[in-house]
């Protein structure tokens, strides 16, 4: 397995060597700059490629109305994908996993028949209840608050790291 997640024959490997796909559905549009460059750097290493879908509501709404509207947009984007998938909602109250545990969890989703894992990143006010209710896993990237545009890069890096861990690639060191 090379640094791009390809085996010696050049075939893309999913998490456990299959063809597990990753989709990120995120509120807001990332602009050109260091956050986008960092996201693209790690996303380019994940095979098959991460599908990124961005949604946004531009109308001035109250916090509760905005969360509900963003939930509609996220769930609508989620419905666009086909097949069996697991849904991971990034939420500050979610479970914190180390990199090896995260990789194992992705492997378990694949072993359970998921062909895709969708990661849902909410807006500044968090997720609406409809999105939280849809989660197969609520995941926190830690107790600190991170800018939403940085979360994409951090998640892409962890997806690449998970592939490396499961492939026995030396990228991840304990």
The pLDDT tens digits of the residues spanning 71-120 come to: 999 999 999 878 899 999 999 999 999 999 999 999 999 999 999 999 99
Residue 6 has pLDDT above 60, yes or no: no
Q: Output 16 or 85, whichever has higher pLDDT.
A: 85
Rounded to whole angstroms, the Cα distance separating 79 from 161 reads 27
Would you state the pLDDT for residue 158?
Answer: 97
Region 117-129: what's the mean pLDDT? Answer: 95
Mean pLDDT of the chain: 90
pLDDT for res 89? 98
Asked if 25 contacts 145 with a C-beta cutoff of 8 angstroms, the reply is: no
What band does 15 get if pLDDT is binned at 50, 70 and 90? low
What does the pLDDT average to over 127-145? 96
pLDDT exceeds 90 at position 156: yes
pTM > 0.75? yes
Instruction: Assess whether pLDDT exceeds 60 at residue 51.
Output: yes
- Domain ranges for the chain: 21-167
3-class DSSP state for residue 123?
A: strand
Distance CA 127, CA 140 (A): 13
Residue 7: pLDDT over 80: no
- What is the pLDDT, as a whole number, of residue 171? 86
Interval 42-49 mean pLDDT: 96
Query: In residues, how long is the chain?
Result: 174
**In the CATH scheme, what architecture does the domain 21-167 have?**
3-Layer(aba) Sandwich (3.40)
At 149, the pLDDT band (50, 70, 90 cuts) reads: confident
Write the DSSP assignment of 49-68 as a string of letters. PPEEEEE---S---HHHHHH
Tell me what the mean pLDDT of segment 17-38 comes to. 91
């Amino acid at each position: 397995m090379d640094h791009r997640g390809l085996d010696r024959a050049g075939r893309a490997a999913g998490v456990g060597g299959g063809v597990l796909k990753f989709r990120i559905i995120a509120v807001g549009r990332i602009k050109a700059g260091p956050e986008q460059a960092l996201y693209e750097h790690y996303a380019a290493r994940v095979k098959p490629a991460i599908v990124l879908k961005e949604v946004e509501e531009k109308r001035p709404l109250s916090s509760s109305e905005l969360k509900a509207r963003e939930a509609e947009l996220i769930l609508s984007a989620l419905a666009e994908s086909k097949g069996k998938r697991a849904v991971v909602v990034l939420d500050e109250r979610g479970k914190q996993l180390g990199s090896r545990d995260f990789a194992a969890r992705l492997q378990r989703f694949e072993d359970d028949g998921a062909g895709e894992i969708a990661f849902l990143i909410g807006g500044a006010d968090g997720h609406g209840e409809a999105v939280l209710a849809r989660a197969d896993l609520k995941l926190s990237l830690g107790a600190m608050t991170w800018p939403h545009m940085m979360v994409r890069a951090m998640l892409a890096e962890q997806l690449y790291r998970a592939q490396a861990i499961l492939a026995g690639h030396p990228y991840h060191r304990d």
